[in-house]
Chains A and B, each alone.
Chain A
Amino acid sequence: MNEYEFEYNGSGFTVEASSAPFPHSMTLRVHELLSTNQDSFLAFDFTSQSDNPMEGFSSIPTLPYGLDKLGTSLLNHKCLQYINTISKFSFDAGVTIVGDTSEIVWKTLGAIQRYQQANPGMQQASIHF
Chain B
Amino acid sequence: MVRKDGILHRAIKVYWMNYSMGRSITLSSDFISKTAGTLQNSSEILPDQPHISSVVSRQVKSAMHIILQDEIRNLFRDLEGEWSSKNRKAFALCLCTNLIVCMLIEQIQADIDALVLYKICEEGQDATRTHESGMKACRALEDVAMHYSWTLFNKVQKSYNPVKNGCPADNGSGQNEGEAALVKDIRQLMDDHSM
Residues of A within 8 A of B (CB): 6, 9-10, 13-20, 25, 28, 30, 32-34, 38, 40-43, 53-57, 60-67, 71-72, 75-76, 79-80, 82-84, 86-87, 89, 99, 104-105, 107-112, 114-119, 121-122, 125-129
Contact = CB atoms under 8 A, between A and B. Distances in A.
B66 interface: yes
Given A17-B56, A75-B59, A87 B13 contact: yes
B46 A63 contact: no
B94 to A, nearest CB: 12
Contacts, number: 201
A122 B9 contact: yes
Interface stretch (B25-33, B80-88, B137-145, B152-160): B25-33
A61 B16 CA distance: 28
B146 interface: no
B24 to A, nearest CB: 7
Contacts of B32: 63
B53 A62 contact: yes
A62 B55 CA distance: 9
Contact of A55 (B13, B27, B121): B121
Contacts of A111: 182, 185-186, 189
Contacts of A127: 2, 6, 9-10, 13
Instruction: Report the contact-size class of chain B (Cβ under 8 Å from the partner).
Output: 35 or more
Interface in B84-98: 92, 96
13 contacts: A17-B60, A19-B23, A20-B19, A41-B53, A43-B24, A66-B55, A72-B59, A75-B60, A79-B67, A84-B13, A109-B12, A111-B185, A125-B3
Given A32-B39, A43-B57, A126-B6, A15 B28 contact: yes
Interface in B49-71: 49, 51-57, 59-60, 63-64, 66-67, 70-71
B120 interface: yes
Secondary structure at the B interface, as helix, strand, loop or mixed, is helix
B46 A61 contact: yes
Contact of B9 (A53, A67, A125): A125
B5 A125 contact: yes
A36 B60 CA distance: 23
A119 B178 contact: yes
Given A32-B39, A63-B27, A118-B176, 4 more contacts: A9-B40, A76-B67, A111-B182, A122-B9
A28 B53 CA distance: 12
A42 to B, nearest CB: 6
Contacts of B122: 56-57
B38 to A, nearest CB: 8
A57 to B, nearest CB: 7
List the 7 closest pairs (A to B, CB-CB), nearest first: A118-B178, A56-B121, A111-B185, A16-B28, A19-B20, A66-B55, A75-B63
Interface centre among B23, B55, B57, B179 (most CB of A within 10 A): B55
